């Protein structure tokens, strides 16, 4: 069974339907990209999958490792191995990055099976090295006064520390300069394994120069209108979304 299976998903916000019949299957080891113009429902899809209460599922099914994802509470989804990086990460004051990470890791383990402190510190050091993060990041308060690039880097650090089975990364490339983008990509690439699936949501193709997706899907008006390989992303970069709209006869 695929890690994530989305069938005919419809999502409404405040009574307005935004996602309109979305289908997607992601297997372990696969990286998929969902690209699309602004306002097409990409973030709505991501939030709905994570269980944000504002997003109403009006139709369809989603299973995660064969289990009904939509029946699970938000924290159950995280504990089951789902990770969502938000487009706008929030600040939590009074909690250091290291404390937050250790708490999050332990919350997903059985009681009595908490990660040993030394092991945690060693792993954290190693991952922070990969992401070119200075040691002081561990003791800084979560996201407080972080620059845009630092927040993104920190999200990838969370991803690497939590080792989810499936990650949904919504516009992790937005606002990143090329160096930060490469670092973020390095972190995601290091996660690649048969036990890790990833959905990268992005407006721009440039992130996909550094993280090679297995499949690329174009989302317009709430559903996937075309799927292909990495060449589809390159085509969009060259022609913009308008070329595809014309080809498919989609009007705004
Ligand atoms: P994308 O991520 O593809 O740019 P979004 O999912 O953010 O698109 O938005 C899709 C549509 O849903 C837009 O028309 C947007 O205005 C609307 N929308 C998104 N979030 C909310 C919200 N919290 N409340 C009301 N409308 C929203
Ligand atoms: Mg948007
Ligand atoms: Mg968005």
pLDDT at 146: 84
* Cα angle value 25/227/5 (rounded, 5°): 10
Per-residue model confidence as pLDDT tens digits over 145-180:
888 888 888 889 999 999 999 999 998 888 888 988
Which residues are found with C-beta within 5 Å of the ion, ligand 2?
38
Q: How far is the CA of 177 from the centre of ligand 1 (A)?
A: 25
Per-domain residue ranges for the chain? Answer: 4-92+164-248
Closest CA to 73 of 49, 51, 54: 51
Phi and psi angles of residue 180, each rounded to the nearest 5 degrees, phi first: -65, -40
User: Which ligand 1 atom sits nearest the alpha carbon of residue 38?
Assistant: 4
- The CA distance from 107 to 193, in Å, is 23
| Average confidence (pLDDT) over 75-98 | 79
Q: Is the dihedral of CA 47, 49, 50, 55 positive or negative?
A: positive
Say whether pLDDT at 89 is over 60.
Answer: no
Mutate to test the pocket of ligand 1, among 9, 36, 44 (most ligand atoms within 8 A of CB): 44
Q: Is the dihedral of CA 16, 20, 23, 29 positive or negative?
A: negative
The ligand with the least distance to the CA atom of 45 is 1
In short, whether 40's Cβ falls inside 6 Å of ligand 1 is: yes
Between residues 23 and 86, the one the model is more confident about = 23
CA distances from 220 to 24, 79, 118, 207, 224 (A): 14, 31, 47, 19, 6
Query: Is 88 a residue whose pLDDT tops 70?
Result: no
**Probe target for ligand 1 pocket from 39, 88, 168, 220, with the most ligand atoms within 8 Å of CB:** 39
Q: What is the pLDDT of residue 144?
A: 81
Measured distance CA(23)–CA(222) in Å, rounded: 11
Residue 38 near ligand 1, beta carbon < 6 Å:
yes
Nearest CA to ligand 1 atom 26: 13
Please give the average per-residue pLDDT across 85-101, as a whole number: 75
ipTM for the predicted complex: 0.92
> In CATH, which superfamily holds the domain spanning 4-92+164-248?
P-loop containing nucleotide triphosphate hydrolases (3.40.50.300)
Chain mean pLDDT for the chain: 92
Model confidence over 172-201: pLDDT tens digits? Answer: 888 888 988 999 999 999 999 999 999 999
The tally of CA atoms less than 13 A away on the side-chain side of residue 252 is 5
Return the pLDDT at 247. 92
Residue 55 has pLDDT above 80, yes or no: yes
CB 196 within 8 A of CB 165: yes
Q: Is the pLDDT of residue 129 over 90?
A: yes
Our answer on whether the CB atom of 44 is closer than 6 Å to any ligand 1 atom is yes
């Amino acid at each position: 069974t695929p890690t994530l299976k989305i069938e005919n998903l419809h999502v409404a916000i405040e009574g307005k339907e935004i996602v309109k019949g979305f289908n997607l299957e992601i297997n372990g080891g696969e990286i998929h990209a969902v690209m699309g113009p602004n306002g097409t429902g990409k973030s709505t899809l991501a939030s709905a999958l994570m269980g944000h209460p504002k997003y109403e599922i009006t139709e369809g099914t989603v299973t995660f490792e064969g289990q009904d994802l939509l029946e699970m509470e938000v924290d159950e989804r995280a504990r089951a191995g789902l990770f969502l990086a938000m487009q706008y990460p929030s600040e939590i004051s009074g909690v250091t990055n290291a404390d937050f990470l250790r708490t999050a890791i332990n919350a997903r383990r059985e009681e009595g099976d908490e990660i040993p402190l030394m092991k945690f510190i060693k792993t954290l050091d190693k991952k922070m090295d990969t992401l070119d993060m200075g040691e002081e990041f561990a003791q800084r308060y979560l996201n407080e006064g972080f620059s845009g690039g630092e927040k993104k880097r920190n999200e990838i650090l969370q991803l690497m520390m939590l080792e989810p089975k499936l990650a949904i990364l919504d516009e992790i490339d937005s606002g990143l300069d090329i160096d930060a983008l490469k670092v973020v990509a390095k972190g995601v690439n290091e996660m690649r394994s048969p036990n890790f699936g990833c959905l990268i949501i992005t407006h721009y193709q440039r992130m996909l120069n550094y993280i090679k997706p297995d499949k690329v899907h174009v989302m317009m008006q709430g559903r996937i209108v075309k799927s292909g390989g990495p060449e589809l992303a390159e085509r969009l970069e060259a022609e913009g979304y308008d070329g595809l709209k014309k080809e498919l006869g989609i009007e705004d």
